């Protein structure tokens, strides 16, 4: 049995677009439904860094840092609001291999840098995974406004207050992981995205509409082991 993991998520940008629900459903396993806000499905790109990633109960000092960027949407199954990952690019080769084998997550090895400079976060990612479609993302982002609690804002709550995520394993089975953390504290954000070919690599055209941006300094998380969803 794989132990639950403890970690911190830091310096997150939530970049979000409304998408036609029929387009989104075509990209999802049949057992999941695209969740909707104001009649629209949503596609998000989320760059950040994991810190102190370790088995739950292990000393924080033994944890590793793992910069990451994921492409995701929002789904429901049996009425439970959840996240579905299309891809997760991360810096650590051993961590990527482990996440693929043990947690059945669609991780890809990438060269990633995340630096805080003069109040801004500078994030760069270039996929290096053998045999995978090329994907490159480069952005600068920062908070722009006052902090607020995500549950107090209906759209923000829809996009971030989710405590289960789903993936599809190579054998076609549906897997899920539950996460525990405090409610999110967010800021409005400003961002300049110089390059994004991630969504194209996952089969989407980058939406023409201006994205909704949120920034969070982060929070601490415990993630359960991966479980197979029964049909």
Q: How far does CA 23 lie from the centroid of its chain?
A: 20
Question: Is residue 184 in some structural domain?
Answer: yes
In this prediction, residue 92 has a pLDDT band, given cuts at 50, 70 and 90, of: confident
Residues 6+ apart with CB under 8 A from 45: 13, 15, 69, 70, 71, 137, 196, 198, 199
Query: In this predicted structure, what is the pLDDT of residue 171?
Result: 82
Q: How many folded domains does the chain comprise?
A: 1
Q: What is the average pLDDT score of the chain?
A: 92
Radius of gyration for the chain, computed over Cα atoms and rounded to the nearest angstrom: 17
| Per-residue CA distances from 22 to 32, 136, 157 (Å) | 13, 27, 23
Q: Is 230 part of a structural domain of the chain?
A: no
On the question of pLDDT at 99 being above 70, the answer is: no
108 within domain boundaries: yes
Counting beta carbons within 10 angstroms of the beta carbon of residue 164, is it exposed (0 to 12), middle (13 to 18) or buried (19 or more)?
Answer: middle
Measured between alpha carbons, how far is 105 from 143 in angstroms, rounded to an integer? 29
Distance between CA atoms of 31 and 174, rounded to whole angstroms?
8
- DSSP letters along 126-169, please? EE--TTSPP-EEEEEEEE-S--EEGGGSHHHHHHH---EEEEE-
- Which residue range is the domain that position 80 belongs to? 5-225
Confidence of residue 66 (pLDDT cuts 50, 70, 90): very high
3-class DSSP state of 50: strand
- Residue 231, domain member (yes or no): no
Q: Which residues pair with 10 in a beta bridge?
A: 49, 218
Closest CA to 176 of 101, 119, 229: 229
In tens, the pLDDT along 114-164 reads 999 999 999 999 999 988 999 999 999 999 999 999 999 999 999 999 999
**pLDDT band at residue 231 under the 50/70/90 scheme:** low
Band (pLDDT 50/70/90 cuts) for residue 9 is: very high
Residue 68: pLDDT over 60: yes
* Within-domain flag for 105: yes
């Amino acid at each position: 049995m794989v132990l639950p993991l403890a970690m911190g998520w830091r310096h997150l940008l939530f970049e979000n677009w409304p998408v036609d629900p029929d387009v989104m459903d075509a990209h999802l396993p049949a057992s999941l439904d695209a969740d909707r806000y104001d009649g629209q499905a949503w596609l998000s790109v989320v760059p950040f860094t994991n810190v102190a990633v370790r088995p739950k109960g292990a000393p924080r000092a033994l944890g590793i840092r793992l910069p990451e960027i994921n492409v995701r949407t929002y789904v429901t199954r049996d009425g439970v609001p959840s996240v579905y990952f299309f891809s997760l690019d991360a810096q650590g080769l051993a961590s990527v291999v482990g996440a693929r084998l043990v947690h059945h997550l669609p991780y890809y090895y990438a060269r990633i840098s995340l630096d805080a400079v003069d109040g801004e976060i500078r994030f760069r990612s270039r996929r290096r995974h053998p045999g995978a479609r090329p994907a490159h993302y480069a952005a600068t982002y920062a908070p722009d406004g006052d902090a607020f609690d995500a549950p107090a804002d209906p759209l923000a709550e829809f996009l971030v207050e989710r405590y289960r995520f789903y993936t599809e394993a190579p054998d076609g089975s549906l897997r899920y992981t539950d996460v525990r953390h405090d409610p999110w504290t967010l800021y409005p954000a400003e961002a300049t995205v110089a390059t994004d070919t991630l969504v194209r690599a996952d089969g989407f055209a980058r939406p023409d509409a201006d994205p909704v941006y949120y920034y969070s300094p982060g929070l601490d998380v415990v993630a359960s082991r991966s479980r197979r969803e029964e049909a």
